[in-house]
């Protein structure tokens, strides 16, 4: 499973694909439908948008974040 890291005012966070699916995918689908972009809905597209919105980076497999 892919993991992503991003920073905000509370620090550095690591989120899995499952975390994005559980916390963002339904909202993202609804917003895509509102703007008439149903044909672009896929989980991979959702991940791409989430990464862009959060300025996130994908972590290499099995690599922990090092401070």
For the record, the structure tokens of 22 come out as 């559980």
Residues 6+ apart with CB under 8 A from 40: 32
Residue 10: name the closest of 62, 57, 66, 54 by CA. Answer: 54
pTM: 0.84
| Run of H or E residues at 17 | helix 17-20
Give the confidence band of 33 by pLDDT, cuts at 50, 70, 90: very high
- Average pLDDT score over the chain: 93
Q: In this structure, are residues 7 and 67 in contact, taking their beta carbons and an 8 Å threshold?
A: no
- Tokens 């993991």 -> residue: 3
Checking if the pLDDT of 63 tops 90, the result is no
Which tens digits make up the pLDDT trace of 12-23?
999 999 999 999
**Count of all residues that appear for the chain in the document:** 67
Q: What is the mean pLDDT of residues 24-31?
A: 98
């Amino acid at each position: 499973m892919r993991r992503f890291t991003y920073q905000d005012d509370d620090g550095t966070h690591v989120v899995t694909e499952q975390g994005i699916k559980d916390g963002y995918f339904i909202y993202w689908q609804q917003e895509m439908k509102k703007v008439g972009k149903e044909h672009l809905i896929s989980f991979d597209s959702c991940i791409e948008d989430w990464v862009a919105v959060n300025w996130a980076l994908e972590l290499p497999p099995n690599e922990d974040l090092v401070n």
